Structures are given as C-alpha cells and as structure tokens.
Amino acid sequence: MAKRPILRYPDQRLQLPALAAERFGAELSILAGDLLETMRAAPGIGITAPHIGVLQRVTVIELDAATGARTYVNPKILWSSDETILHAEGSVSMPGISEEVLRAHRVRVGYQTLSGEQAEEDAEGLMSICLQHEIDQLDGIFWLQRLSRLKRDRAVKRFSKQMKSG
C-alpha cells in the first residue's frame, strides 16, 4: 500500500467519467489498498480512483475504524428512496471546504467485489450519502455540481482563498 497524490480541484480529470474495471486481480487489490492509505492520510471517509488520477470505477469508503473499509468496484445505484437527507459534504480534492447537499436517505447499490463477484447492498444515512457522493465522482460529477450556483461560487472562492494563504 502506498499513499498517492490526490488531484486538487479544479483539475479537469475530476470531471471525467471513470471506465469500468475489467481486470480483477493483484493490480486492482493494490489500487484499493493505495486508495485506502491515501484516504486515511487525507483524511477522508471516501475516495475514488479518479481522485488519484486513475480513471477506473473503484471507490473505498470507511466511515469508522470499527466497521472497517469497504471497496466497491463498478458501483451503480439501483434504487433510491424518495425520502431525502441534508448533510455537509466535501472532497479530498478540495480539503477544508464543505456545504450541505441534499441526497436520497436510502439507496440500493450494485457493485463487484475485488474478486469480481456481483453484490448488492442497501445503505441509509451517512453510508447512503457517501455511496451517492462517490458514485457521482465516478460518473464525472464533482460534488460542487450538486450545489446552487451561489453556494458553489462561495465554496470555490473560499477554496481559492485558502489555497493562496496556505
């Protein structure tokens, strides 16, 4: 496992849709391990391969150490609830900036494991938010695109100011 550099906003690669992972084996496992190490160092609770410049549909999510990290290969949302939840979101590619985003409270996600097996998972609350956020990223939708223009402009301005001063 190795910590890799994270692309920073406004890197255009963060807006590119990731390609399906087709090869399951040691290389994919190494990528997942690198994502986990990079995410923990950031720190964050979710990261995708595109965050480190690898355009593959792979994400790692770890809400807390007790439940451990989960790796999702080629994830897609199969169903989402009409009930919504508002939660502060941010990105490892835009550290220190967060805004509230409206998401479905519950989702069902289809994905593959690191060995290529098909799986489905129901999630609610924070895990649902994280899955939607990371799948958006895999689809080339950076989280800022989920904000109103006013909130997006304010977030970008705060990040620019932060980058200049720090």
Active site residues: 134
Coil, strand, or helix at residue 146?
Answer: helix
Q: Using only C-alpha atoms, what is the Rg of the chain?
A: 15
Q: Which structure tokens are listed for 132?
A: 């939607």
Coil, strand, or helix at residue 103?
Answer: strand
Do the Cβ atoms of 57 and 139 come closer than 8 Å? Answer: no
Total residue count of the chain as it appears in this document: 166
Do the Cβ atoms of 32 and 47 come closer than 8 Å? Answer: no
Q: Where are the beta strands (DSSP E) in the chain?
A: 46-48, 58-61, 70-80, 84-91, 94-104, 106-112, 118-124
Q: Which of 17, 145, 30, 4 is nearest to 74 (CA)?
A: 17
